[in-house]
Amino acid sequence: MQLLQKLPQTQDHLAQANALAAQFARTAVERDKAGGTPKAERDWIRASGLLKLIIPPEYGGIGESWITAMQINRKFAEVDSSLAHLFSYHHLGVVAPHIFGSEEQKQRYYTLTAEHNWFWCNGFNPLDRRVMLTADGNRFRLNGTKSFCSGSADSDLIPVTAVQEDVAGFRIVIVPTQRQGVIVNGDWDNIGQRQTDSGSVTFDNVVIDPEEILIPSAAEVFKTFRSCLTQITFTNIYLGITIGALKAAKNYTQTQTRAWITSGVEKATADPYLLHHYGEAWTNLEAAILLTDRANQLVQAAWEKGNELTAEERGECAVAIATAKAFVTRIGLNITSSMFDWMGARATASEYGFDRFWRNLRTFTLHDPVDYKIRALGNWVLNGEFPTPDFYS
């Protein structure tokens, strides 16, 4: 089955995203140093209408493709990967009821999100099993603390994975962030992705209605597809960070870098070593873009299949995503580190904030080990086995 096809793009929303990215860029370095919640920038995203990007028109949304959503994630990440992180997790939250829920839940959350312009966050983190869901008459109670809740501050809804006694697997609970008993702890202080509010959230006896509970199932292929969306989202953000780093390095080299005293040239832009390094970076980046764009198209084609998606089609998609992600991770970490060799010692001045590209990429790429992506690809190449569907592949 050949999933890959040419798919249309919408330029208006990309232009809108470019304008937002230009605004974000003005304060990106200062905000990265400060950390905390980018409230003004979140409100600009709200005002743009782009929170409705993926919601189908019949529910009040824009109905754009995942290809366009990924291009926007990538563009935001060029200048501010924290905001790309927040924007992308919003969409991963919005589609959770579509993937895991009933038709009624899908319609309800799409419609209400479009109507109220809700900003979703993330509380999946299935490795953290401390949140418990217990029955309480006709309702339920949610208790415990979940770590790595990206975008939790200033959000409207948080989808959180919870363990329910005597029930296999997880439940996914959609919780209004302002509901009594929800405590956003504000304890995110890491070296990268500093404005993602990816700290912990505590749930203290939070009341949950039955219609707020989604039930994942590996029995249906489409219900395992969110991890593909998550992984392709990350890949595009990693790529955006790398593109942004190369652009920043190029601009600095052209305007600030001095030719080395034994180079035999007058300008750094004629230095044969720098020409080699930039040429090598360019070839790697072009390959990364092609791999990621192909994976984006496969994701969109698979999404359009919906419940008709086959295990083989999902597997083809997962392989393309893992290939792109592994490659982008490797070349991105290299470019964001090596750029200082190309720019020179003066580029380490804190006023430029060039270190944020490496810090952000290094932090984000630790979400799940790239070694296991490469191992899964090796198993596919050698043994013909697709990656096993789980929350990370």
pLDDT at 11: 57
One digit per residue, the tens of pLDDT, for the chain of length 393 reads 344 443 344 458 999 999 999 999 999 999 999 999 999 999 999 999 999 999 999 999 999 999 999 999 999 999 999 999 999 999 999 999 999 999 999 999 999 999 999 999 999 999 999 999 999 999 999 999 999 999 999 999 999 999 998 888 899 999 999 999 999 999 999 999 999 999 999 999 999 999 999 998 878 999 999 999 999 999 999 999 999 999 999 999 999 999 999 999 999 999 999 999 999 999 999 999 999 999 999 999 999 999 999 999 999 999 999 999 999 999 999 999 999 999 999 999 999 999 999 999 999 999 999 999 999 999 999 999 999 998 888
Q: For the domain bounded by 11-116, which CATH number is listed? A: 1.10.540.10
pTM, two decimal places: 0.95
Is 132-214 in CATH node 2.40.110.10? Answer: yes
Tokens representing 128 are 């953290």
In this prediction, residue 216 carries a pLDDT of 86
CATH architecture of 221-383: Up-down Bundle (1.20)
Per-residue pLDDT tens digits for 214-249: 998 878 999 999 999 999 999 999 999 999 999 999
Segment (H or E) for 133: strand 132-136
Please tell me the total number of residues recorded for the chain in this structure. 393
Instruction: Look at residue 127 in the predicted model and tell me its pLDDT.
Output: 94
What does 157-171 look like in DSSP terms, one character per residue?
A: EEEEEEEETT-SS-E
Is residue 86 exposed (0-12), middle (13-18) or buried (19+ Cβ within 10 Å)? buried
* 183: Cβ contacts below 8 Å, ≥ 6 apart: 201, 202, 203, 204
* CA–CA separation, 336 and 356 (whole Å): 9
pLDDT value of position 107: 98
Q: Is the dihedral of CA 94, 98, 102, 107 positive or negative?
A: positive
Q: Provide the token pair at 186.
A: 């504000």
Of all residues in the chain, the percent with pLDDT exceeding 70 is: 97
**Residue whose pair of structure tokens reads 């995942």 in the numeric block:** 66
The alpha carbon torsion through 196, 202, 208, 210 (nearest 10 deg) reads 60
DSSP states along 55-123: S-GGGTS----HHHHHHHHHHHHHH-HHHHHHHHHHHHHHTHHHHHS-HHHHHHHHHHHHHHT--B--B
Q: How far apart are CA 360 and CA 239, in angstroms?
A: 12
Q: Using alpha carbons, select from 169, 149, 144, 167 the residue that is nearest to residue 159.
A: 149
Phi and psi at residue 163, in whole multiples of 5°?
-95, 135
**Distance (Å, rounded) from C-alpha 119 to C-alpha 92?**
11
Domain boundaries, the chain: 11-116, 132-214, 221-383
Distance, CA of 324 to CA of 179 (rounded, Å): 39
- Give CA angle at 79 (71, 324), nearest 5°: 45
User: How does pLDDT run across 116-147, given as a tens digit for each residue?
Assistant: 999 999 999 999 999 999 999 999 999 999 99
State phi, psi for 339 to the nearest 5 degrees. Answer: -55, -30
